[in-house]
Chains A and B, each alone.
Chain A
Amino acid sequence: MNATDRSRIKSPWILHFDTGSCNGCDIETWALLTPKYDIERFGMLNKANPKHADMLLVTGPVSMKVADRLRNLYNQMPEPRFVIAVGNCACTGAPFSDCYNVHGGIGKIIPVDIFVPGCAARPEAIIDGVVLGLKIWRQRAFAPRPKERPLPATESSEAAP
């Protein structure tokens, strides 16, 4: 493992995005920053900026309106990146999966690497998910380099605000 791969594992910066969650998972995600869970000990920082982030934590089912924004955020994150679906809604859409205004899980919009189930997902489970993600990253570092994933196609135009 070279220095770059080692550094990647040691410093995953997080972007948290709410695609229509009830805020249950959001509160649990924010709890990660508190002294009790202190994810900064893994080198993680909450960056609130897709261009600086390595990991995308998504909570909530993807509503029709937010799908483009989610895709936009994902496209703005430079490779290598990692997507974690936090909570049942983000994983499958859960109770909202067949609603008229909901796409379902975020897997329908962007490729997901880790699914963290739970309603709401416990902070411990989210940390587990992130650590599992780092483990996969470590395996990828040893494995021959896969091709970069193509950017998902945009459905409607992403006009600047």
Chain B
Amino acid sequence: MAVDWTQLTIQVLLVVLSPVAIGLLFGIDRKITAHMQNRVGPPIIQPFYDLIKLFGKRTMVMNNGQIVFAFACLFLQAAALALLASGGDLLIVFFVSGAGSVAFVLGAFSARSPYSYYGSQRELLQILAYEPVLLLVILLIGYDRGTFTVSRLDTNLLPVLPLALIALMAVLVIKLQKSPYDIATAHQEIVSGPYVEYSGPYLGITKLANWFEVAVIFGILTLFYWNENMALSIAGKVAIVAVALFATQVLDNATARLTRERMLRFTLPYGILLVALNMALIYLNRQGVF
């Protein structure tokens, strides 16, 4: 099988540049949040300063398991992004990314610390809240298109799956660790939850893993828009990311943190309801009702 070098280069660039883009996105996020709160805010490249500083700090670890799970989390999330960027199977992307989230939770559980335990229990609950919705959205994409292969999803999903996109917003809020669902990392409440026992370079690695995780979910969001015209296609994808990020920011600044029970009670029923409604719409459309 001949290797398509151009395509391979593009895919490698996508995987390498995605965390950079997500870092910038977090920087813009912090800047806009600061302006919303009438502050000046940090420079846009602040997340990179934070990350490089963390990698330059002295290593302090609780146990070896922590290191292994931090690297496992980073590797799995990066693998999920690589699969997505190379046009792989969407379901595999979902499962690999999910395994990465579980590795992170195990890493937090490996340290015998009350806050770390609280944080990882809550992180598990969050996974329970968003994972079914995300899986159902992916299954819905498969139901509509007849394939899970990303490289063959070359149609505009936005008019077909509008409700699924709205359901994904709750997933995005949880993955971005923003109010009202910043339950695991709840700052000032349980310090920083699963991150609490990580320090220095290993904290940096878990942060980087989170960047990859967010890159995967934004990658899935960008699948919703596609156009024959390459430039138009990219513009549409960027617009989806920008609108989604801004929506989460408004939510973040306008709401307080909810309890774990309310997160479960809201995301699961409403997320599944939206996906079900969307599925019914597709079905009725196929039957020629509209």
**B189 nearest in chain A by CB position:** A48
- Chain B contacts with A in 37-59, Cβ cutoff 8 A: 37-43, 46, 48-53, 55-59
Chain B residues with Cβ below 8 Å from A148 are 58
**B45 nearest in chain A by CB position:** A10
Which 9 A-B pairs rank lowest in CB-CB distance, beginning with the nearest?
A: A4-B56, A51-B199, A7-B52, A10-B49, A7-B53, A79-B58, A38-B39, A7-B49, A11-B49
Report the bound CA distance from A38 to B42 in whole Å: 9
Chain A residues with Cβ below 8 Å from B59 are 78
Indicate if the CB atoms of B192 and A43 lie closer than 8 Å: no
Indicate if the CB atoms of B50 and A79 lie closer than 8 Å: no
Chain B residues with Cβ below 8 Å from A79 are 57-58
Distance (whole angstroms) from the CB of B45 to the closest CB of chain A: 9
Distance (whole angstroms) from the CB of B16 to the closest CB of chain A: 18
> Any chain B CB within 8 A of the CB of A35?
yes
> Any chain B CB within 8 A of the CB of A26?
no
Chain B residues with Cβ below 8 Å from A71 are none
Contact of B46 among A4, A11, A54, A80 (CB under 8 A): A11
- Chain A contacts with B in 35-51, Cβ cutoff 8 A: 35, 38, 40-43, 47-49, 51
**B114 nearest in chain A by CB position:** A161
Report the bound CA distance from A73 to B46 in whole Å: 26
Tell me whether chain B's interface is mostly helix, strand or loop, or mixed. loop
Report the bound CA distance from A102 to B254 in whole Å: 44
Indicate if the CB atoms of A49 and B191 lie closer than 8 Å: yes
Chain A residues with Cβ below 8 Å from B34 are 38, 40-41
Chain B residues with Cβ below 8 Å from A42 are 42
Indicate if the CB atoms of A8 and B53 lie closer than 8 Å: yes
Report the bound CA distance from A129 to B208 in whole Å: 32
> Any chain A CB within 8 A of the CB of B262?
no
Known: A11-B53, A47-B192, A52-B192. A40 touches B41 (CB 8 A): yes
Chain A residues with Cβ below 8 Å from B53 are 4, 7-8, 10-11, 54
Report the bound CA distance from A79 to B199 in whole Å: 11
Indicate if the CB atoms of A38 and B58 lie closer than 8 Å: no
Report the bound CA distance from A54 to B172 in whole Å: 30
